[in-house]
Chain A
Amino acid sequence: DGGITQSPKYLFRKEGQNVTLSCEQNLNHDAMYWYRQDPGQGLRLIYYSQIVNDFQKGDIAEGYSVSREKKESFPLTVTSAQKNPTAFYLCASSSSGPEKLFFGSGTQLSVL
């Protein structure tokens, strides 16, 4: 079955550590997105990529980095510069722009 897979489901980060969240899709979608969700808040866009080897900053890109070396994969690195990383991170993909996003099941990142 086609879908979008995020791993791990839960991740813990130590102070000063970089961590990478995985996102893989087999839907053959060109566009991929990373969102951050905090309790009681809407989804905020971190980065997005419309094509391989290209990506754009979203509204809250500071402290994060991404790569898009393959169409299927769009990993997100939460760097030590992100001082408040605890959140639920959602990856999404789309074949037709952001109007119809397919989301993964998310990664909960917490700080030790």
Chain B
Amino acid sequence: GQQLNQSPQSMFIQEGEDVSMNCTSSSIFNTWLWYKQDPGEGPVLLIALYKAGELTSNGRLTAQFGITRKDSFLNISASIPSDVGIYFCAGHTPRGGSEKLVFGKGTKLTVNP
């Protein structure tokens, strides 16, 4: 089945630093999404990307849909303590009515004040 390779698996950074994480796949996706999960909670959608090459920002977050449609990255600028959590990428391609998202395994971010 389809798989997403998300890296890095974890990151430990100092407050104020910029962060970059990415997802790659052997399959093409029509949609890339980035979610953030706080401890003990459900994921929350951060950014949705629908077009190859698309670059979208949401505050200090910026995400891009790779030209090949097989990858995406998420950048966080000037990190703050509340950025702590697990970030998931997810890809979707409609296939025969399939309603499935494929999720990466997540990047766990720790921000030291």
Tell me the A residues contacting B by CB distance below 8 Å. 6, 31, 33, 40-45, 48, 50, 56, 58-59, 90, 92, 97-106, 108
A-B contact count (CB 8 A): 62
Closest Cβ neighbor of A10 among chain B residues: B40
Do A42 and B42 touch (CB < 8 A)? no
Asked if B104 is at the interface (CB within 8 A of a chain A CB), the reply is: yes
Q: Which of A43, A56, A99, A102 contacts B103 (CB 8 A)?
A: A43
Question: Is there contact, CB below 8 Å, between A100 and B45?
Answer: yes
Residue ranges of B at the interface with A (Cβ–Cβ < 8 Å):
1, 4, 6, 9, 31, 33, 40-45, 48, 88, 92, 94, 99-101, 103-106
Please tell me if the beta carbons of A42 and B4 are within 8 angstroms of each other in the complex.
yes
Flag if A98 contacts B43 (CB, 8 Å): no
CB pair B88–A99 under 8 Å, yes or no, is: no
> Mind listing 17 A-B residue pairs with CB under 8 Å?
A31-B99, A33-B99, A42-B105, A43-B43, A45-B100, A59-B1, A90-B42, A90-B43, A97-B94, A97-B99, A98-B101, A99-B31, A99-B101, A100-B48, A101-B43, A101-B101, A105-B41
B88 contacts A42, C-beta separation under 8 Å: yes
Q: CA of A45 to CA of B31 in the docked complex: distance in angstroms?
A: 18
**Residue from B9, B48, B105, B106 in contact with A99 in the complex, judged by beta carbons closer than 8 Å:** B48
B45 contacts across to A, CB distance below 8 A: 100-102
Question: Of B1, B40, B48, B104, which contacts A42 at CB under 8 A?
Answer: B104
Distance A31 CA – B38 CA, assembled complex (angstroms): 24
Q: A41-B105, A42-B106, A99-B31 are in contact. Are A48 and B41 (CB under 8 A)?
A: no
